[in-house]
Amino acid sequence: MGTTLFDKLWQEHEVTTLSERQSLLYVDRIFLHERTGSVALNSLLEKQRSVRRREHAFCTMDHIVDTLPGRGDDTLMPSGRDFIVATRHAAHETGIQLFDIADADQGIVHVISPELGIALPGLSLICPDSHTCTLGGLGALAWGVGSTEAEHALATSTLRVTRPQTMRVSFAGLLGEGVSAKDLVLFTIRELSASGGAGYAIEFAGPAIDALPVEARLTLCNMTTELSAFTGLIAPDQKVFDYCADRRYAPQGQLWDQAAQHWQSLRSDEDAAFDQEHSFDIGSLKPQLSWGTSPQHCVDWDDAIPHVRDAPDAASSAAWQRAQDYMGVTPGSQLSDYALDAAFIGSCTNSRLSDLQLAAAYLVRTGHKVAKGVKALCVPGSGQVKRAAEAEGLDDIFRNAGFEWREPGCSMCFFAGGESFGKGVRVASTTNRNFEGRQGLGVRTHIASPLTVVASACAGHLVADTVA
Amino acid sequence: MTPFTQHRGVALPLLRDNIDTDAIIPSREMRTVSRSGLAPGLFAPWRYLDPDARTLNPEFALNQAEYRAASILLAGDNFGCGSSREHAVWALMESGFRAIIAPSFATIFRNNALRNGLLTVALEQHDLDELVGWVTVDPAAHMIQLDLEACSIEFDPERDKKVFSVDPTARDMLLKGLDEIGLTEQSMDLVVRFEEQDQARRPWAYLPSD
C-alpha cells in the first residue's frame, strides 16, 4: 500500500520512535513572536540553555506591536513595551535572527515565513502559534505548539510528537467567480465542525485545490486549526516551486536543484490509504459568512440564521442560543439585515498581496466608498506586502475609499489590550476567529473573505459581492 | 513539572462545547512576559461583569461559594480550542486546577497541559453526565477523586468508579513529573547521527551556521 504525503514527511523527520504512537521529530525551522516566543526564550535563558541551531531559529514582532503609522516600541497595550523589549533582548542574547519593528521584512509570522523562504516544501516548522498550519499550504510539515514545546525545539532541534491520524478532504469542481479559499475553508469547518479535525493531519486535494494560487492555499491551510486539526497540508506543485524560487532563505544553485527534485516526491501515492476521507463538490459554493461565535457557525451569505430548535443536539442548541444572544442576531433573519460598524482586512489568514488586490479591485470596479459611520482598516501582513501594494497604488485606492492604511502586524485580529472596536460593535473581518471577545470585549465579529468584507464595508451592512 | 499521581477535590461544571483559549485567558489578560500572574484573568469575560473593574458576575459558577475551592473542571467537547497560548494552562493551574475532564480536547491545549502537570481526562459524554449529576447535588461535599496510577475516577460511593484511558507516555510523564527537555537531551547523540544522515539526503534543508 502507498504512503500519504503526511506519512512521508513524518518519516523524513523521524529521529527515533519513543513509543507506539510517539516519535522524536527533527525540527528544521523554529519561528517565534513577541507574544509567546518571548516566554520560551526567557525560560531557555533562565535555565542557561542555548539555542542549539540558531541559524534555524527566527523571531518577529507582530502580535503586540502597534500598527499605527510612526510606531515605535510603545503600544496602546499597557505593558506592551515590556514584551517588545524582552523579546529583542532575548533574541540578541540567543543570537537568533529578529525581524524587528523597523526591519523592512517585519510582519506577521505566517506571512513572512513563506515570503522569506524560511518555510519551504518538505521542511518541518514549528511556532508557538496555532496558525502555524498555514505553511502546510506550501507542503511543509508545520504545526503550532505551546511555549514549553518551543523551548524544547530551541534547545534540542526536536520535538516529542504523538502521531496524528490522516484525513483527506477532496474538493471536486472549481470555485466560482468571487468565491475564494476563505469561503472554501469556512464551508469545510461548517461541514466537519470545529472539532472535526481533532487528532488528524488533513490533506486537501482535488481539482479545486490544484487550481488555487499559492497564497490562497496558505489561507485554506491557515484555518485548519479551527477544525482542531494537527495541521493542514497540500502537495506542493510547480506553482509552489516557482513561488519559493529566489526567496532569501531558499536554497540556491545546486542546492535548489536537489530541493526541487526532492519536492517532486512530496505527494500522496495513488494507493495511499487515509484514516478518514471526505469529499465535497464546491462548484456552486457561495460566499460564506459567520453568524455566531465559532468558525463552524457559518451560512451561505444569503441564507437565514438557523433556529436553535434545529440544532443537532442539546449542547449545540445551548451554544447557538448563547452565540445568537452575544451576536445580537435573530434566527430566521439574514445577515444582510444587520448594519455594520466596522470592517477589518488583515491577519495571517488574509493580509497577503493577492487579498489586498482583490479588495482594491472591487473598490476600483464599483467606485464605491466605505459607508458612512463604518470604521474600515486595511493592515498589510508584512513590510514586503505593504511596499508591493504601495507600488501598485493600492494604498491610495484604500485610503480614497475611506480605509485606514496601517503598518504590518496582527493588529485587531485579537485584542491584546491596545486598540479595539468597542462593545457591541459589529465587524466584518477577514480574520480567523469569531470567538466571544476575541476582537475586544463585546465585539461582534463576522468572518468572511476580503471581497465580502470590502463589499460589506461599502454597503454598510453584511453582503457578498455577487456581481464579481 | 508538577507530578500528578492522585487528586481529590471539588469539581466545577462548565459544560459548554468549544471553550476556547481566548475565553480561558483573553489576550489582554496576558500582561507580563511570565508564566505567572495570570489567575485573575482566568475566564475573565465570563467571570466578571466588567473585567476592567473586576466586578464579579454572581451568575458564574466559579464565583459561587460552593465552587470557590474547585480544582477539577468538568467541561464540554473540544476544550481549549483556538490559540496555542500556554497561558491558558498556567492560568488554570495558578487558580488551583489540577485536572480537566471533558469529552475531548484541542491538541495543542492537551500537549501544553501535559507539559505542566495538568491532567486532561477524555471521558464519554454519558460518563461525564454522571459525574455532573453527582457533583451538582452538593458541590462542596460531593468531591471527585482522580487516580492516575489506576486511571480511575471515584465519585458516588454507590456507583462503580469510572475508568479512563490515557496515552502511556503521557501517563508516565505526569506520574514522574518528567522534564521533557532534560529527557530529550539524553538522546542528543541520536539527533547528531540523524543530522549527519539527513544532511546528506536533504542538504538544502540546512542553512549555513555563520
The residue extents of the domains of chain A are 21-160+244-261, 291-459
**End-to-end CA separation in angstroms for chain B:** 35
Task: Test A315 with B15 for CB contact under 8 angstroms.
Answer: yes
Query: Taking 60 as the threshold, does the pLDDT of residue A468 lie above it?
Result: no
Taking CA–CA distances from A412, the nearest residue in chain B reads B27
Query: pLDDT tens across A434-450, in order?
Result: 999 999 999 999 999 99
Q: What is the rounded distance in angstroms from the CA atom of residue B196 to the CA atom of residue B199?
A: 5
Best mutation site among B204, B206, B210 for testing chain A: the one with the most A CBs within 10 Å? Answer: B204
Minimal-distance CA residue of chain B relative to A161: B111
Which strands form A124-127's sheet, in the order they lie side by side?
A97-99, A57-60, A29-33, A124-127, A141-144
CA-CA distances (angstroms) from residue A216 to A135, A219, A274, A289? 11, 5, 24, 18
Average pLDDT of chain B? 96
Taking the C-alpha atoms of residue B177 and residue A464, their distance in angstroms, rounded to an integer, is 53
Please report, rounded to a whole number, the percentage of residues in chain B having pLDDT higher than 90.
Answer: 95
- Thinking of the domain B6-201, which architecture would CATH place it in? Alpha-Beta Barrel (3.20)
Same fold for the domain at A21-160+244-261 and the one at A291-459? yes
pTM of the model: 0.97
In the block, residue with C-alpha cell 500598527: A67
CB-hemisphere CA count at 13 Å for A213? 8
Q: How far is CA A416 from CA A25, A80, A206, A440, in A?
A: 33, 8, 38, 8
ipTM comes to 0.96
Residues of A in contact with B83 (CB under 8 A): 129-130, 414, 433
* Three-class secondary structure of residue B184 per DSSP: helix
Query: Is 90 exceeded by the pLDDT of residue A73?
Result: yes
By C-alpha distance, which of A344, A346, A427, A432 is closest to A386?
A346
3 state DSSP class of B50 = strand
Query: Considering chain A, what is the average pLDDT of its residues?
Result: 97
Among candidate residues A221, A229, A219, the one with its CA nearest the CA of residue A192: A229
Helices (H), B55-155: 87-94, 107-114, 125-137
The whole-angstrom separation of Cα A134 and Cα A107 is 15
- For residue A354, the 8-state DSSP code is H
A264 touches chain B (CB under 8 A): no
pLDDT tens-place string over residues A295-314: 999 999 999 999 999 999 98
User: Which of A82, A146, A249 has the CB atom closest to B86's CB atom?
Assistant: A146
**Angle in degrees, CA A166, A168, A174, rounded to 5:** 160
Show the cell assigned to A426. Answer: 459589529
Question: How many A-B residue pairs are in contact by the CB < 8 A criterion?
Answer: 194
Tell me the C-alpha to C-alpha distance, in Å, between residue A164 and each of A78, A231, A451, B129. 39, 9, 35, 28
pLDDT greater than 80 at residue A38: yes
**In chain A, residues 58-117 whose CB comes closer than 8 Å to chain B:** 77-79, 82-83, 86-87
Q: Which of B51, B112, B204 sits opposite A146 (nearest CB)?
A: B112
Predicted confidence (pLDDT) per residue in B115-134, tens digit: 999 999 999 999 999 999 99
- 3-class secondary structure, A391: helix
**Range A291-459 classified under CATH 3.40.190.10:** no
CA–CA min distance B115, chain A (Å): 7
CA A373 to chain centre: 29
Q: Enter the DSSP assignment of A163.
A: P
Are the beta carbons of B17 and A77 separated by less than 8 Å? no
Q: By percentage, how much of chain B surpasses pLDDT 70? A: 100
* Nearest-by-Cβ selection for B18 from A38, A86, A294: A294
Block residue for cell numbers 488555487: A212
Kindly report which listed range (A111-115, A225-229, B175-179, B189-193) carries the lowest average pLDDT score.
B175-179
Residue range B26-32: average pLDDT? 92
pLDDT at B1: 82
A274–chain B nearest CA distance, Å: 20
Neighbouring residues of B186: CB distance < 8 A, sequence distance ≥ 6? none
Chain A (276-295) residues lying within 8 Å, Cβ to Cβ, of chain B: 294
Of B104, B115, B185, the CB nearest to A195: B104
Give, in degrees to the nearest 5, the angle at Cα A316 between A315 and A319: 90
Closest CB to A130: pick one of B82, B116, B210: B82
pLDDT of residue A415: 84
Question: Domain segments of chain B: what residues?
Answer: 6-201
Pairing between β-strand A29-33 and β-strand A231-233 as defined by DSSP bridges: unpaired
Which residue, among A345, A412, A410, A409, has the nearest Cα to A377 in the 3D structure? A345
What phi and psi, each to the nearest 5 degrees, are found at residue A412?
-90, 25
8 Å CB contact of A145 and B108: yes
CATH entry 3.30.499.10 includes domain A21-160+244-261? yes
Q: Do A22 and B203 touch (CB under 8 A)?
A: no
Cβ A255–B203 below 8 Å, yes or no?
yes
Asked if B107's CB is within 8 angstroms of A164's CB, the reply is yes
Which of B107, B168, B194 has its CB closest to that of A228? B107
Question: How far is CA B205 from each of CA A111, A133, A190, B136, rounded to the nearest angstrom?
Answer: 20, 19, 37, 56
Average pLDDT on A102-131 reads 98
Mutate which: B57, B107, B167, B169, vs A, most A CBs within 10 A: B107
